[in-house]
Structure 1
Amino acid sequence: MKNYLTASISESAVRHNLAALRSLIGERVKLCPVVKDDCFGHGMDVLFPVLTECADGFAVAAPQEALELRRKGCHGFILCFLSAYFDDFAVQDELVWQEITQTVMSKSALDSIRAAAVRVGKTARVHLKVDTGMGRLGVPSEQAPRLIELICETPEVELTGIYTHFATADEADRSATFRQLERFRAILPVAGKGIRIHAANSAATLDLPDTHFDMVRPGIAVYGCKPSDEIQNSVDLRPCMSVKAKLIAVKRIPAGGCSGYGLTHVYDRDSRVGVVPIGYGDGYFRNLSNKAVVRINGMDAPVRGRVSMDQMTVDVTDIPNVQVGDEVEVISSDPAAPNSVENLARLAGTIPYEITCHIGHSMRHELVE
């Protein structure tokens, strides 16, 4: 962790986003934020108290993430997306012992969870994941009724939920999503009563109320970003992350001079150049070279030359009185800023998820108001 790089996470923004999502789903529907990959790079350590207070449970990818939540003091519902049958028996047993809800998507997963339940002497709670068209994890929808029967015939395992995941809910054309929804609805009568049904990711939570069922699983929306530019709902989400660094050098480069590997930028005037201690090793994308800007003293400083592993150069010629130690706003929490997460994603040709997941891991996180 590099203490000279700081990701400031706004508590008020996260609370605002969760309240906005609550207003969309109503009181009956459970709100289960996805907090995998360290809250999409935003830092579980700082966000755990806020999310615990405002959410009805958590969804994670890996068994280790689920167990870490228990160690932090989460006593409520945790859904683990990935089955643990590649982990050692100690991990499999701990998931059952800690009453973490595991995902079943095959008979082999069911057998593994049952064996752990027998070893521990407790009933294992599971949710069945159904592949309705994503083509990734999950039991194919046509095979789901039989797997439901197998679970119900296994006394050591209790089926408490069924879910699916949408492939194109963040796109303007929702026809594939509606086909997935139709396939999902077709198997629900087989499940019986008392089963928690869920399907909605961030995009579906925002735009498709028919997908809310008993619970929603928003991810990037919790942290203030829309999953794509094609989301139609104009709900007010507030990005919660800003990233700060400090200038470590300021130097003059004459007209015709260059900076960075490959000498890809030639200065057309006598210039002042600042060096910022962040690079692609810290998750700041190399393909933002000569495209992005940072902000210093409230003014834009364009990234000049190639972003290297742990530093980059920015043009500070038009910013008066710049000096070593000045704060550099690498990422702004203002969605309209040129260095917002969403705009950096557009410049990099990627999605906001990838920006926050990459940049959040190498730096100190702090919770701010």
Structure 2
Amino acid sequence: MIKAGIIGSTGYAGAELVRLLLQHPQAEIVWYGSRSYVDQKYADIYRNMFDLVDEKCMNDDMDALAQKADVIFTATPQGLCASLVNEKILESSKIVDLSADFRLKNVSIYETWYKRTHEAPQYLPEAVYGLCEINRSKIASARIVANPGCYTTTSILTLYPLVAEGLIDPDTIIIDAKSGTSGAGRGTKLPNLFCEVNESIKPYGVATHRHTPEIEEQLSYAAGMNYMEGESVLINFTPHLVPMNRGILATCYASLRQGVDTAMIQSAYEKYYKEEYFIRLLGEGSFPETRWVEGSNFVDIGYTVDQRTNRVIAAGALDNLVKGAAGQAVQNMNILFGLPENTGLQLVPVFP
């Protein structure tokens, strides 16, 4: 059995990790970490865990946790994982970090967008970006896996084949994305209160959202650019808050290269994703809906070509708490320990 510890187990992503790992046939949770609820019973915080979890919440002592766990999940705000990780911990346990601490290779870009000093830049070169369908060969031998963000997972997977095959002009990419409110976390924030979000939709982080450089970096690699030397895809990314609990929908627009047609786009998607268990290709003219992926680790992708403007419009949808966070983290764990990637993740989407 893989012994797993969770720091941040009482946030939304952490609670989803608990739900998934409790059902995993090869995993055992040995640490329910929570800075806010130390010594309180986990099932008193999340009553859906009544009679399923008897343990009390523990602290965020990663050094102690590393002596008990084979893998540590850090479902925490930015900065915490970087402030705690050290060589002794990495000699004892793998880390799957759900924050942004190790997603960006360029420390100055991290510090510019996140407005904080990176406390463990020495580990950035070895950390592997945990987008499983793209980086699984590197993930398998990693000590630190940087679990991607929810917007980024949706956007990158939707666009990656088109960029990698040179079918679109990457500097014309526009991403219009929507998220359910759980994407903002469980902390109390005035803009996320029911009366503030219900019956409304709003853009936020316009031209400033922190997932922007993450998407740009990964698409730059897809385009064959030398990102660390300053070459980069530049995108317009606008997220929107939608009054629903779960779900991400990213609609992506880009200009096609000369001569590119629908058949070439379909061929590119099939080249990269036809054998991928968690990516469901809807094909040309069919578009995803968040309700058909809710509660699952699936990503649904569809597209169309606008002949009038010579642009492709591609859309991807996923559950931000599963494939966009905890599910992908478990998928990364499966890769790290040599298990089939869908172990414990064969989740049928929930409807209604």
Instruction: Identify the structure with the greater strand proportion.
Output: 1
The alignment's TM-score, normalised by the length of structure 2, stands at 0.32
Structure with more contact order per residue of length (Cα contacts < 8 Å, sep ≥ 6)? 1
Higher Rg of the two aligned structures: 1
